[in-house]
A and B are shown apart, each in its own frame.
Chain A
């Protein structure tokens, strides 16, 4: 019973910090790492043919993202350690492993974002070994999402613990797969638009709040 008010308080608290900090960005004080929310990051969206109702083919390219900079990285930089996580449809990649250039990795943690205050010692990071053996496992109920009644919904309580391309730590929670994160997505909602929040720890420690 006590956990929920606590986690609510924590998220409220972090929200307050987030908003108050955004006012005085230049003050170099020691403060908890900030939670960032990214909205509508396009992950190779496809247009739906109005005639057939079927989605067309995508570009097949991943949207690469840097957690440090909070922005998309060009695909021309795919063979660098500049990016940390990539998105294409429901498939997520990390910048580490046999088929990548960086030092990244991922672990799918079960718990709430707020309660995960540091990278647990037991965590072992998986890496992208091949296109069929990815650090973030694919498939409904196997990785970060469930697929039911034509809707992809991020599984609540799944937090990705990430090692970034340059070997730092971060936690990331996917909140929605649909444009503008509708409360009740339907089969016709525009998909492949990620809304997620994350905390990036720039100092290289495993502390995540």
Chain B
């Protein structure tokens, strides 16, 4: 039993600022199943309490530190792109697509608190270094019932390291350096110290690259040179046996030297700056084994600055800044009543503001919310969770997001799980307050709250040729919402059949309504349009996901083979109806001949691959300290843009062809030093026109020194 207790204690301690000592009365998983499970698989994201991953009724993926290191990943997008059902898509940055949802529908959390600073809805995943990450938890399906807006498709929670992260040791440190193609370099160091009741963890990282140019025939770069710095840390203090304080902070800054062709023949140059800071004190109080009270504060700041000028005459092309602040106090109470009931209650308040070139004044948001969750474990085979959250927002209608989920252990081998819930995404600052005249092309975009006044202003200036839609219609914008269903099973053949095989299947369906889209409101005299935002479409995404892994000993080492696949169908419900009624046509762009679109021609929403798959081989020789891995990631063809006049995806030339990436990495550890080398995108797959973020073959090599020792006392 000591191992089990240690394992659980360690895992719970590891779970970040939200946790503390073990609750003796907490429902624990059955001993036999925990023995085979790795420690790292305790997750906090799915229920906001520490739970063993295998026992959860919703689809959860956990990626541990060791795997991230072996993959040679540096940034969050490197890690996520190799996960089943996740696609990295580019829209004003690299974001993640989950279950067919665009990046703006996935909430990205850092130790349970939301990261801010999205551009056109995308949170640039490249901003996040992974060197200080203990594990990444991915929960698919809506978690709005716990986390509120944006958690429609899922939640990705980045759990960072703690002091004393190596369990028994009292001090640890590491330094690593990496260099690779495109003059990409990464330097990182971390330090963890624990002395009695105080723990300190610090991390520093510099990441830089000379960028690359996939289309040398045009001026400028595909990705311009940049360098960024991340500093983060946490101090934990056990004030008493019942009270724990944790304060964590992070600072990120990046500078990029842009140089690219803005319009044919005119190159723009200039710096782009990003700064991102956050602070997160957490106080945890455990008066007895039945209660846990957590008080958190989270403050975050994000700023970008761009000064782009034409290279030939130095005239301004884009001079702008954007500054966002987010503050949140929150209190959560967890009540553990014998081994069968867990009740979680939380209340909080979000205060957000943004000030930017493209906004009239400083704009403010506020949001009061409360959530409740009840978990019931009537016996060892059932786990039932119900919950809900109420959001009262200053700018749009209140939201209630309920959820229900259950897991049933059919046999020691197979468990069934199902969940349903409501998710929502609030209209963002841009959709409410943007006030943007594009001086280069000549169009204008106004948020719904700005539209009436701004349109009147343009009319007074005589810039409006024709008003197409009554601007008053845009003022009552609603949050986007979805209803989701996930149904699946997990299987572990090791106990009953002595087979080291695990697999899981998940079927999902999401019905999304009131999708916010841009729509032309008026025509300007210069031939361009005035756009605003409106709740327009009803779409669906549905599909199936499969994951499997098999572990065998090969030689004196261990080989783990895993594979994943996602089948995805998406569509706009209005379009589906129109095609069924024979009302949609297409025009061949070459012959100009018109023909009716058949239901089978419809390819659904753009940028979604029907098929995505991955296969991974991880081989380890523990005695020799050797690891080798090969990962293949396939993204099937996906729609890019309309080419036959009907706006929808319905013909082969409208797709970007599918592609496969192979990443190879090998490492050897001698005492405290690990040498690693690898090649990402082994076969140099590129597609400059449609996939500019695919850089081609990238080699790298790295050196890492780490040490852990008991502290002097």
Q: Which residues of A contact B263 (CB under 8 A)?
A: 53
CB of B453 within 8 A of chain A? no
B321 close to chain A: CB less than 8 A? no
Q: How many whole Å from A126's CB to the nearest CB in chain B? A: 18
Does B592 lie within 8 Å of A175, measured CB to CB?
Answer: yes
With a CB–CB cut-off of 8 A, which chain A residues contact B593? 8, 11
Closest chain-A Cβ to B91's Cβ sits at a distance in Å of 13
The answer to whether B520 and A147 touch across the interface, beta carbons within 8 angstroms, is yes
Given contacts A53-B440, A188-B264, A148 and B527 within 8 Å (CB-CB): no
The answer to whether B586 and A183 have CB atoms under 8 Å apart is no
* Nearest opposing residue in chain A for B641, CB measure: A149
When the two chains form their complex, are residues B647 and A148 in contact, meaning their CB atoms are under 8 A apart?
A: yes
* Separation of A57 and B525 alpha carbons in the complex (Å): 7
Contact A155 B646 (CB under 8 A): yes
Give the distance in Å from the alpha carbon of A157 to the alpha carbon of B526 in the complex. 29
Least CB separation from A192: chain B residue: B527
Given contacts A57-B525, A157-B584, contact A138 B596 (CB under 8 A): no
Known pairs A147-B520, A176-B592; A156 contacts B468 (CB<8 A):
no
- In the complex, the answer to whether B590 meets A183 with C-beta atoms within 8 Å is yes
Which residues from chain B contact A46 at a C-beta distance below 8 Å? 527
Separation of A26 and B647 alpha carbons in the complex (Å): 44
Q: A113 vs B591: C-alpha distance in the bound complex, in angstroms?
A: 14
- Interface assignment of A181: CB less than 8 Å from any CB of chain B: yes
Interface size on A (CB < 8 Å)?
Answer: 42
A7 touches B468 (CB 8 A): no
Mark out the residues of chain B between 615 and 647 whose CB falls within 8 Å of any chain A CB in the assembled complex.
Answer: 641-647
Distance from A186 Cβ to chain B, minimum over Cβ atoms (Å): 9
B596 near A112 (CB under 8 angstroms)? yes
Partner of A184, one of B584, B589, B598, B647: B589
- B314 within 8 Å of A by Cβ? no
| A128 close to chain B: CB less than 8 A | no
Please tell me if B658 contacts chain A, counting CB pairs below 8 Å. no
Determine if B476 is an interface residue (Cβ-Cβ < 8 Å). no
Among A112, A138, A156, the one with the most B-chain Cβ atoms within 10 Å of its Cβ is: A156
In whole angstroms, what is the CA distance A195 to B526 when docked?
Answer: 22
Interface of B is mostly: loop
A110 CA / B583 CA spacing, docked (Å): 7
B594 within 8 A of A: yes
Q: Write the chain A residue with the least CB distance to B595.
A: A4
Inter-subunit contact B596/A195 (CB<8 Å): no
Q: Are A112 and B585 in contact (CB under 8 A)?
A: yes
Q: Is B441 an interface residue (CB 8 A)?
A: yes
Q: Which of A8, A54, A57, A142 lies in contact with B442, CB distance below 8 A?
A: A54
Distance between Cα atoms of A156 and B643 in the complex (Å): 11
Q: Is B469 an interface residue (CB 8 A)?
A: yes
By a CB distance below 8 angstroms, the chain A residues around B595 are 3-4, 7-8, 112, 156
B-chain residues with CB within 8 Å of residue A183 when the two chains form the complex: 589-590, 643
Residues on B with beta carbons closer than 8 Å to the beta carbon of A139: 468-469, 520
Q: Chain B 449-493 against A: per-residue CB contact (8 Å), 1 yes, 0 no? A: 000000000000000001011000000000000000000000000
Q: Could you say which of B466, B583, B593 has the most chain A C-beta atoms within 10 Å of its C-beta?
A: B593
Q: In the assembled complex, how far is the CB of residue A117 from the closest CB belonging to chain B, in whole angstroms? A: 15
Instruction: Tell yes or no: A78 within 8 A of B by CB.
Output: no
B residues near A, CB below 8 A? 263-264, 440-443, 466, 468-469, 520, 525-529, 583-587, 589-590, 592-596, 598, 641-647
A-B contact pairs, 10 of them (CB 8 A): A4-B596, A8-B595, A53-B441, A54-B526, A89-B527, A139-B468, A148-B642, A153-B647, A157-B583, A157-B585
Binding site for B on A (CB under 8 A): 1, 3-4, 7-8, 11, 46, 52-55, 57, 89, 110, 112-113, 132, 138-142, 146-150, 153-157, 173, 175-176, 181, 183-184, 187-188, 191, 195
* Additional A-B contact list (19), CB under 8 Å, known A7-B595, A154-B645, A187-B441: A3-B596, A46-B527, A53-B263, A53-B442, A55-B442, A55-B527, A89-B527, A112-B595, A132-B466, A139-B468, A142-B468, A148-B647, A150-B528, A155-B645, A155-B646, A156-B644, A157-B646, A173-B594, A175-B592
